[in-house]
Amino acid sequence: MNSHKLYFNWSSGKDSALALYYLMQNKQYSIEKLLTSMNSHYNRISMHGVHRKVYNAQVKSIGIPAMTIELPENTDMELYEQKLSEVIQTLKEENFTHCGFGDIFLQDLRNYREKQLQPFNITPVFPLWGRETRELVYKFLELGFKTIIVSAMDSHVNSDFVGQIIDKSLINALPKHVDPCGENGEFHTFCFDGPIFQYPIEIKTGEKIHKTYTTQNDGNSDKKTGVWYCDILLNKET
């Protein structure tokens, strides 16, 4: 039986890494591309803030060809969806039939992904779906993965949180309202070692910065969100 040709929605973080690991064990799928949204102005992964150089080192170690959705400095949903549709069309023309995601329990997000793929007749695959998040992060660590916190919402944690490598003691010390996998957007990570990599990505932490974002809340009032970032650098520039 032939494997389904699959591309993976790669964020660079731990949930993506674990979902990709499970898909790599599944002979139903042939994973032939990683897809990542990139802010072209800053040369950084959208949401996570990881620099393109570090991302390139990561995907090189994974060994799967990668492509990016290139986005401008300020992107609205209309432009994002247009760019995404163009990329999915290209992937469809390359005979991809399935797309993998690292989502765990956000039903609205799953519905959105399914809706985006439906016109292209591409099947979404969610290998982590419905799993208990504390169980997942423990399994992630048990498998030998290593990941560092690169961004976090200031409404949940302080600046000391970013730049830390996740271990069981850190997970157990999280405030009760913070999901152990950060599934509600509380924090994002960069995975630099584990069974999906051919070799570890040698990294070090850089400066920490704070940014405030303003979005429309229910179309009437502005909502401000504060985010801490910790820059991740390569130990050796290549």
3-state secondary structure at position 12: coil
pLDDT at position 51, please?
96
* pTM, 2 dp: 0.93
pLDDT at position 204, please?
96
CA distances from 29 to 57, 225, 232 (A): 24, 38, 32
Reduced 3-state DSSP string for 100-119: ECCCCCCHHHHHHHHHHHHH
Per-residue confidence of the chain (238 residues) as pLDDT tens digits? 689 999 999 999 999 999 999 999 999 999 999 999 999 999 999 888 999 999 999 999 999 999 999 999 888 888 999 999 999 999 999 999 999 999 999 999 999 999 999 999 999 999 999 999 999 999 999 999 999 999 999 988 888 999 999 999 999 999 889 999 999 999 999 999 999 999 999 999 999 999 887 766 555 557 788 899 999 999 976 4
Query: Residue 160: how many CB atoms within 10 A of its CB?
Result: 10
pLDDT at position 103, please?
96
pLDDT at position 215, please?
67
Write the DSSP assignment of 55-110 as a string of letters.
HHHHHHHHTS-EEEEEE-SS--HHHHHHHHHHHHHHHHHTT--EEE----S-HHHH
pLDDT at position 63, please?
98
Neighbouring-strand partners of residue 5? 30
CA dist., res. 140 & res. 135, Å (int): 9
Residue with tokens 């290139």: 70
Residue 46 DSSP symbol: T
pLDDT at position 224, please?
82
pLDDT at position 212, please?
87
pLDDT at position 217, please?
58
Residue 60 is encoded by which pair of tokens? 């090189």
